[in-house]
A and B are shown apart, each in its own frame.
Chain A
Amino acid sequence: NAGVTQTPKFRILKIGQSMTLQCTQDMNHNYMYWYRQDPGMGLKLIYYSVGAGITDKGEVPNGYNVSRSTTEDFPLRLELAAPSQTSVYFCASSSRTGGRYQPQHFGDGTRLSIL
């Protein structure tokens, strides 16, 4: 059981380049989330999804896009990379059973530097 898998683990981009951070989970969770973490800070929510085909903005969505075509995958797209997007990106997933949310499971993160 792999849980939440993020690729790549590390990436260096040039300003203005684009890339997609991949996230996949094998737990059949409906809910998926993208967070970013800047040095010395807590995680901030970028986007989230409550199921395939449904996404919504979190606290810091500017400069990012997401899609959710399947239950398993929730890719995060950076269209025009900027130095302010240098951060560690975490993907998470959770489920809801008996009307109660289960705790989120997190991936190991993608460390992204924009130079």
Chain B
Amino acid sequence: DAKTTQPPSMDCAEGRAANLPCNHSTISGNEYVYWYRQIHSQGPQYIIHGLKNNETNEMASLIITEDRKSSTLILPHATLRDTAVYYCIGLTETGGGNKLTFGTGTQLKVEL
């Protein structure tokens, strides 16, 4: 699975869009990009994932560059409850389950 690089911390004003970058320059062709977040030491929560195309769900949007070497998670209208550590994870699906390899993530702080 690809090594991912994320900034250690970011700040965002409440109501504004939060754009969290992730570099995964060694990603392989069949490797997905997953995003999870962890709020205040709770269990990680799944946000979104994608392979090549941009994805959107009720929580966020995922923009993947054409060369797939980087991606951006977008929280369109950040709230205080979005303050969390966000993890970008490269994942190759094998027969042995979708085992996740977590880095240290980005601490997002949403402020008034």
Contact = CB atoms under 8 A, between A and B. Distances in A.
A96 to B, nearest CB: 8
B100 interface: yes
B45 interface: yes
B43, B44, B98, B103 pick with most chain A CB within 10 angstroms: B43
Contacts of B104: 40-42
Interface residues of A, number: 28
Nearest to A39: B41
Given A42-B103, A43-B100, A108 B95 contact: no
Interface of A: 4, 31, 33, 35, 40-45, 48, 50, 56, 58-59, 88, 90, 92, 94, 100-101, 103-109
Nearest to A102: B98
Which 5 A-B residue pairings sit nearest by Cβ, starting from the closest? A42-B102, A106-B43, A103-B46, A101-B98, A31-B97
B99 A45 contact: yes
Interface residues of B, number: 21
A106 B46 CA distance: 9
Nearest to B98: A101
B93 A88 contact: no
A63 B18 CA distance: 40
A92 B102 contact: no
Given A42-B102, A44-B102, A104-B46, 5 more contacts: A41-B104, A43-B100, A45-B100, A94-B98, A109-B42
A17 to B, nearest CB: 24
Interface of B: 34, 41-46, 49, 87, 93, 95-105
Given A42-B87, A88-B41, A106-B43, A50 B34 contact: no
A103 B96 CA distance: 14
A100 B104 CA distance: 27
B101 A109 contact: no
Contacts of B97: 31, 33, 48, 50, 94, 101
